[in-house]
Every structure is written in C-alpha cells, then in structure tokens.
Structure 1
Amino acid sequence: MRPLMIAACLFLTTAAFAASAQETQAPAAPAAAATPAPTAAKGNADKGRQLTYTCQGCHGVTGYKNAYPNYHVPKIGGQSAEYLANALTEYRKGTRKHPTMQAQSQSFSDQDIADIAAFLSTLK
C-alpha cells in the first residue's frame, strides 16, 4: 500500500473516532444563542504556495509532473478562488466525496483554504 493511501486511511479512521466521540458529548447550544457566521477569510497567495505541495503531484500544477498520468484529476490552477475555496470546504465537511481530498482538506483551517485558493487562482 502506498504511504499516502496508508496516511489517508489512518486519518479517516481517526476522524471517524473523533466524530463519534463528539456526538456523545452534550448537545450544542440552541440556534438562537449561536454566534453569527464568520466572514470569508482573505487569502494570501504566498502562504498558499507553501500549502499546495501535496496538490502538485495529482493535479499537475504547472511546472510539476502529474503522479497519476492515467488517472483523471481536474486541473485546479487558474480556477476561481471562490470555486476552489468552496470545493475544499465541501470536501472538509464531507458533502463532496473523494477519500483522498476529504483526508487532505481535514487538516486545513478556513485561512489555509483561503490561502490555497488565492494561490491556485493566480496560476495559468
């Protein structure tokens, strides 16, 4: 088994245990007491460049070889920052399904996602 697959499986297992542990805790406060949703973070392309090192192998970011030449993965360089941020957020929430992308996105904060989207949107 490849190291990335092992890491993804380990991460998904750990995330499942953490999620089940959170479900057994006390319920959240009523919706009326909920805090307003935070505004979208402003991305920093320089920080995003550092965070995209794992994206490069599969997505074929310009200047890098695609590790899976026969496996279709979308080109993400040059996509709009809004689209990229939404996609990563949906993977993190689990509303978009792809085990590797879900595992990758779990480690990103909202600011990390904004930074990644800012960088990738600048690529041609």
Structure 2
Amino acid sequence: MTRLLMLAACFALATPALSASAQDAAAPAAPAAPAADAPTTNAPLTGNAETGRALTYTCQGCHGVDGYRNVYPHYHVPKIGGQSPEYLVNALHEYKRGTRRHPTMQAQAQSFTDQDIADIAAFLSELTK
C-alpha cells in the first residue's frame, strides 16, 4: 500500500510540470534512418544537454525538491544533478532493464530511448546544485 501511495504521489507531483512542459517544449526532430548497408557501431551516444533539459521535467517532481527529499519524510531521494554522465546512463539503463528496482523510475526509464538517456545524462551531469 505504501509503495502504491508513493507512486501515486510522484505522478501527482510530476503531472503539472508535464502539462506545462509539453505545451512549451517543441518535439525534437526524428533522426534520419541509417542506410541499409551502413555499419553499426557500439560507440556511446553523444547527449544534447538542451534536449535533456526538456526531458527532465518529470525528474523535478522528486529529485528537484530541496534536500532531495520527496513528500515522504523517511524516503531519501538521491542527488542526480552533477553526477557523471556514465553513472546516469548506467542507472537509467538498469531501471529500463529492471535490474535496478524502483517502480516510478522503472516506469520513467521505459519511456526513454537510448538517445533520450544520453541527453538526460548530458544535462544532469552539468548541474552543479
């Protein structure tokens, strides 16, 4: 029951920001499809911090609270601003795969593409506070 309430509160906090940001943010252009004979690489994606800024609007619902605490006084929300891009990329991919567990974070990560994750990491890693 507590987990359900925590999930509902996080979504309730993020919903107003989601509505405002969705109206203000322009949809990023879709990348061009690679040619059929183009070689594939495993090179890490380069993140765009400006795109990442637009994608992190829901993160502020929990991680943007002073002291990094959400509405539950006994639940510490980790600091994500200023973390290394590698840490952030790995964490989001682990949530997406389900190897790192937190229902809200897993739901959020499922909605991100690999490029979204790189963009988010680029933006958050530049924050100093």
Structure 1 residue aligned with 2:49: 45
One-letter code of the match for 1:92?
A: K
Superposed counterparts of 1:1-124, under 5 Å: 2=8, 4=11, 38-60=42-64, 67-68=70-71, 70=73, 71-124=75-128
RMSD over aligned Cα, in angstroms? 2.6
**Structure 1, unaligned stretches of length 5 or more?**
6-34
Which range moved further: 95-104 or 65-74?
A: 65-74
Counterpart-to-counterpart distance in 1, 2:127 and 2:106: 23
Counterpart-to-counterpart distance in 1, 2:88 and 2:98: 15
One-letter code of the match for 2:56?
A: T
Shift of 1:117: 0.2
Normalising by structure 2, we get a TM-score of 0.64
Asked whether the 8 Å contact 2:69–2:77 carries over to 1, the reply is no
Asked whether the 8 Å contact 2:89–2:117 carries over to 1, the reply is yes
Aligned length: 94
SS across alignment from 2:58: helix
Counterpart-to-counterpart distance in 2, 1:77 and 1:118: 10
Residues 38, 95 of structure 1: alpha-carbon distance in 2 compared, 3 angstrom cutoff: same
Structure 2 residue aligned with 1:17: none
Shift of 1:57: 1.4
**Structure 2, unaligned stretches of length 5 or more?**
13-38
Counterpart-to-counterpart distance in 2, 1:90 and 1:99: 12
Percent of matched pairs sharing the same residue: 65
Normalising by structure 1, we get a TM-score of 0.66
Counterpart-to-counterpart distance in 2, 1:99 and 1:120: 21
Asked whether the 8 Å contact 1:61–1:76 carries over to 2, the reply is no
Residues 73, 111 of structure 1: alpha-carbon distance in 2 compared, 3 angstrom cutoff: same
Alignment deviations for residues 18-46 of structure 1 (CA, whole Å, 9 cap, x no partner): xxxxxxxxxxxxxxxxx966321100000
